Every structure is written in structure tokens, then in C-alpha cells.
Chain A
């Protein structure tokens, strides 16, 4: 796939405050990329620089190998959907969608057809004459998307566009947005702080914190092989357990030895590392078990969230969270009744080593 958008060493600072620091990334044409990070991590500023709404302090932005860093916003032909949607309240739906066509030579007939096609695309063919304040949240969302797409943009930018919707509608719109993007095969960048949204939409995730990129990768890569503690804790739930290197293949957690793992060559025995394990990968067994990779622990808290049971387990002062199925927990709790002492199995194949 050819490279569409390319960002080289982009930075933005306001006085001494660095909002975006030295960000480089590229987005192949037709791909869906999500910038993911907590609020204030610089993801929106990065998006706004790409759109041309902010002037970078340093670095270049390229689109299809052309440097567009100094191209004014209106000449970039990038569509943007804003968090607040920014639909024009003084125009009806049809006029909103047709707004960008004012700046193109196009006759009334073509214009009418384009608006009709876009309304069909967002599956709201009959709302053309409505005022914006007569639309529901989901309808506004779709009209904002249609308005952005009317200019047949090279790049589709979305700044937390679904954050104002309720959970159910948001899920629905995520699917719709993804289908639309795949149908049009349009290069898309979406900014969100919602990791579930990012995971379900993106081909590639760009995880950001403190104005810097923490990791770039597919959702599976980021979930399974987080690059650092921040990514491991921000993406899904993770147990971050302090451990010491034992040898090339094993680490020690307390008195237990966990392995086989692939310990980086440059770490000597005794070096501190962090073991990242997802709660759903942690297995719980009856106490006294002498299984390898197992820590003794006591259940301190049980939370029933319906489809799974979340256990908080105290293992010699370390808190480990395990998620288990209701059936497995029912079987286990009947054997340990009252005592609460269990064994915690950390399967090496699900453990990921992070340097501390």
C-alpha cells in the first residue's frame, strides 16, 4: 500500500509547554488509524496540525509525498468531523451537506445528486429539509460525516466524534463508521480516548501520552505486546508485577519462578523487570498446588460483573487481579470454602516482560 499521510518529527509547544513532541508516523492510503491516549496527551493537537488548524512549531506534514505543512486549511481537502460536530445551525441538513460544494464549480443538478447520494449513504434519505435542531444525536452525527465526505476528501479526520452519544448508539455508530470507511476506502484518522472504540475501529493504533508516541501497532499487537508500562496499563486491564531476572529464560516473582520466558539478553540476573499479565489470562487453582509458575495467594475481594467474576488476590503483598468464568469460580470456591487460600497461575505464554 502506498503511503498517504506522513508526519515527520512534528512538535507543537505553547511557550515552555510542549504539547506534541517529535511525533513521526505514516498512514498508508485506505487505512484507518486511531490516535489513542488519555486527555491532554496531545492527540487532538496532532490531528489539528494535520488538518491545518494549528501551525506546528517544528516538523513537516506530507500527503501523497507532497509537503503540505504550509498549505492553508481550505486548500488541503481534508475533511474533519469535530467533537462538537459544528453543524451550521442556520442551514438545513441539505445546505449543511452541500456547504463544501460552494467552493467548487458544480451545477445545481450535480449538487442535488451529490447531496441525495450522501443522504442515501448515511441512510437518512428523507431529512434533507430538516433543521439541525430537529435531528437526534445519531442523525446529527451522520449528517456531520456526510458533510465532511461531500468534498471527496483525500483524508478523513475525526476528533472524538462519538463521545457525545450514549453507549448503545456509540457502539452502533462505530460499526457504521467502519463499514463506511471500508466501503469508500478512504484514509482515516480518528482521535479517541476510548480504547474499546479504538480497538474496534482501527487497522493501526497510535498510543500517545505526554505528547509522545508510546507505541504504534495493530490492536492485537498493542494488546498482546505492550511496549511499556503505560501502554500495558492504559490498554485494557493489566497486572503489572515487579519481578527479578533469574536467567535467560526465567524471572522470579517473590519465591516463585516464572518461565519459560524470553528475557532480553542485556538484562543480568537480578535486574528488575515488570511482568505484565492480563486478568483474563491469570488462572486460579486450589491452594497447596505445586504446579510450576504458581504463586500462593488469598482472595481479598470478589466482584460479580455478570459474565465474569473479578477476583482480587493478595500474593505476599502484591495485588493480582484475575478474571474467571462464573462456572470456574463456583467450582473453586466450593473447594476452598471460607479459607480463601488459592494458587495463582501465571501462564508464561501470556506473560509479557517490560523493562522497569
Chain B
């Protein structure tokens, strides 16, 4: 009895979080089943109209773009974040702390601010293209945004701190003795990395990958600010449907779909980890 009361006392943040998740999701589900009626955005009655609209080509295309964007951003940030995290763990303690503080500091910037900074960075008149021309890599200054590359670049910048901070603990606790053992057993340096470091950090790497993908799936401002409408992933369509189109049921239905995709991604990752561990 006492124990039960104590657990309840300790569990309250979890319970609050749970209710703050469950209630909106229930609302979302309810609204997604409402008929579209701009005069009554909260809906009355039941209709599968919103879900039927998801089968339209433009909805499916935007979902495809969402997945494409999420996977490429996750892949790039893992590909760049892993070596970065590995390098950081091999630096002196104080330099490590500085790097971690710097990465945490970038997280304090809002993604709106970052997206518009990237717009400036990729602009024709004062942006990166000037530098590329000066270096002789481009013939004349040109605007580098809106473009898919701009969207991906900005999103990678946004999620890479999460990748590094997810990988850092396990990489810093990596048993260097195992790498040395591999070396004495005849492994060249790069083979000791692929055959020892990668298997040892598989779990945090998959987690970092899923985390980046999920963060990208939910991104709104960067694709809106740096991409053309034909680049827009589902998250932007949700925002537009809800804010501009006053079509809450459709926005809700798309959100539910995105939620399912996210859950599927996490489930798939858990399955890979389980299969490899067995």
C-alpha cells in the first residue's frame, strides 16, 4: 500500500506527460473523423471524407517526399555526426566539454530563426554563392534556395546536435582495449573501426537515426522557407490545411497518418535491434 502510494508520487511527471499526449491524440482522432465544414471547424457528425482525401495523388506524393527527406537527413546527419562524436570523445576533456556546450547552444536557437538565416546564407546577393564564385567553383552568383539541397542542409544542421549527443555517451565509454585487441589480431585501423566500433555502437546509432528521421518528419519552417511547393513534405501540407485552408479534419487525418509512419519507423528500428541481438 505504502509502496503503491510512493510509486504514484514518483510517477506524476509520467502521468502528466501521458495525459498531455493522450488527450490531444484523442482530439486529433475525433477531428479527423469529422466532415469538412469551415463554419464548424470542430466538426459535428462522422465522415471518412478526410481519410479518403489522403489517397489522392498529391497527398501520397507529399508523404513520399516526407519519407525521402526524413531518411536522407537522418542518413547524412548520422554519416557526419558519427565521426564528429567519435572525434570529440578522443579530444582532451576540456575541449570535449566546449564542443558539447557548443552543440547544446545551437539547440537554443529557434528553427524559424535558423531557417531564415539559411535563406540569407543561400541568397544570391550576400550568400554562399559569392564565396563559391570567389573560389572559382561557380561562374556567377546565383540563388541557392529554394531547393531540396537547401532544405536538407538546414535540417541536417538542426538535427546533428541530437545525433552527436545521442552517440556521445556510448562512444566515450567505448572500451579502447577492444580496438587494441582487434589491432593485435591483424586488423588495419579502418577494419578495427568497422568490425569493432560500429557493432558496439549499433544501438545508439539506430536510435540517433530514428530520432533524426522523426524530427525531420515533423519539421515545418525549414521546408516552407527553403523549398518550393513541389518540395513540401506532408508536415507543411498539414500546417497549410489547418492554418490557411481551415480544413482541420484533413490536417488531422494527415497527422494521424504521419503518426502511424513514425510509429512504424520506431517499430522497424526496434525489430532490427532485436534481430541482431539474438
**Residues of A participating in the B interface, judged by any CB pair closer than 8 Å:** 51-53, 72-74, 76-80, 82, 84, 86-90, 99-100, 102-104, 147-148, 150-151, 157
Within 8 A of A (CB), among B163-188: 175, 177-178, 180-188
Residue in A52, A90, A151, A157 whose CB lies within 8 Å of B185: A151
Q: Contact between B184 and A53 (Cβ–Cβ < 8 Å)? A: yes
B48 at the interface (CB under 8 A from A): no
**Given A86-B175, A90-B200, A80 and B187 touching (CB < 8 A)?**
no
Residues of chain A with a CB closer than 8 A to B195's CB: 99, 102
Q: Contact between B178 and A74 (Cβ–Cβ < 8 Å)? A: no
The minimal Cβ–Cβ distance linking B205 to chain A, given in whole angstroms, is 13
Q: Contact between A77 and B186 (Cβ–Cβ < 8 Å)? A: yes
Name, among B189, B191, B195, the residue most crowded by chain A CB atoms within 10 Å (CB to CB). B195
Residues of chain A with a CB closer than 8 A to B178's CB: 86, 88
The minimal Cβ–Cβ distance linking A78 to chain B, given in whole angstroms, is 7
B33 at the interface (CB under 8 A from A): no
CB closest residue in chain B, given A104: B186
Q: Contact between B196 and A88 (Cβ–Cβ < 8 Å)? A: yes
Residues of chain A with a CB closer than 8 A to B184's CB: 51-53, 73-74, 76, 78-80, 148, 157
Docked CA distance A102–B184 (Å): 13
Q: Contact between B177 and A74 (Cβ–Cβ < 8 Å)? A: no
B199 at the interface (CB under 8 A from A): yes
Q: Contact between A100 and B183 (Cβ–Cβ < 8 Å)? A: no
Residues of chain B with a CB closer than 8 A to A100's CB: 185-186
Docked CA distance A90–B175 (Å): 13
Docked CA distance A87–B180 (Å): 11
The minimal Cβ–Cβ distance linking B178 to chain A, given in whole angstroms, is 5
CB closest residue in chain B, given A103: B186
The minimal Cβ–Cβ distance linking A274 to chain B, given in whole angstroms, is 41
Residues of chain A with a CB closer than 8 A to B175's CB: 84, 86
Docked CA distance A79–B200 (Å): 22
Interface residues on B, range: 10 to 19
CB closest residue in chain B, given A48: B180
The 4 closest A-B pairs by CB, nearest first: A86-B181, A100-B185, A103-B186, A80-B184
A-B contact count (CB 8 A): 68
**Given A84-B177, A86-B175, A103 and B187 touching (CB < 8 A)?**
yes
The minimal Cβ–Cβ distance linking A352 to chain B, given in whole angstroms, is 40
CB closest residue in chain A, given B175: A86
**Given A53-B183, A86-B178, A74 and B200 touching (CB < 8 A)?**
no
Docked CA distance A197–B47 (Å): 82
The minimal Cβ–Cβ distance linking B149 to chain A, given in whole angstroms, is 37
Docked CA distance A270–B186 (Å): 60
Show 13 A/B contacts (Cβ-Cβ < 8 Å), sorted by A.
Answer: A51-B184, A76-B184, A79-B185, A80-B180, A82-B177, A86-B175, A86-B181, A88-B178, A88-B199, A99-B182, A100-B186, A103-B185, A157-B184
Q: Contact between B177 and A86 (Cβ–Cβ < 8 Å)? A: yes
Name, among B180, B186, B189, B191, the residue most crowded by chain A CB atoms within 10 Å (CB to CB). B186
Residue in B188, B196, B199, B202 whose CB lies within 8 Å of A74: B188
Residues of chain B with a CB closer than 8 A to A147's CB: 185
Docked CA distance A280–B196 (Å): 52
CB closest residue in chain B, given A53: B180
Residue in B180, B185, B189 whose CB lies within 8 Å of A99: B185
CB closest residue in chain A, given B185: A100
Could you mark each residue 187-222 of chain B with 1 if its beta carbon is under 8 Å from any beta carbon of chain A, else 0?
Answer: 111010001100110100000000000000000000
CB closest residue in chain B, given A51: B184
CB closest residue in chain A, given B188: A74
Residues of chain A with a CB closer than 8 A to B187's CB: 74, 99, 102-103
**Additional A-B contacts beyond A102-B191, A103-B191 (10; CB < 8 A):** A72-B188, A74-B184, A78-B184, A79-B185, A88-B178, A90-B200, A99-B187, A100-B186, A150-B185, A157-B184
The minimal Cβ–Cβ distance linking B128 to chain A, given in whole angstroms, is 41
Q: Contact between A74 and B181 (Cβ–Cβ < 8 Å)? A: no
Docked CA distance A90–B183 (Å): 17
Could you mark each residue 94-128 of chain B with 1 if its beta carbon is under 8 Å from any beta carbon of chain A, else 0?
Answer: 00000000000000000000000000000000000
CB closest residue in chain A, given B182: A99
Residue in A79, A86, A88, A89 whose CB lies within 8 Å of B180: A86
Residues of chain A with a CB closer than 8 A to B202's CB: 90
CB closest residue in chain A, given B276: A90
Residues of chain B with a CB closer than 8 A to A104's CB: 186
Docked CA distance A80–B186 (Å): 11
Residues of chain B with a CB closer than 8 A to A72's CB: 188
Docked CA distance A52–B202 (Å): 29
Residues of chain A with a CB closer than 8 A to B189's CB: 74
Residues of chain A with a CB closer than 8 A to B177's CB: 82, 84, 86
The minimal Cβ–Cβ distance linking B201 to chain A, given in whole angstroms, is 10
Residues of chain B with a CB closer than 8 A to A86's CB: 175, 177-178, 180-181
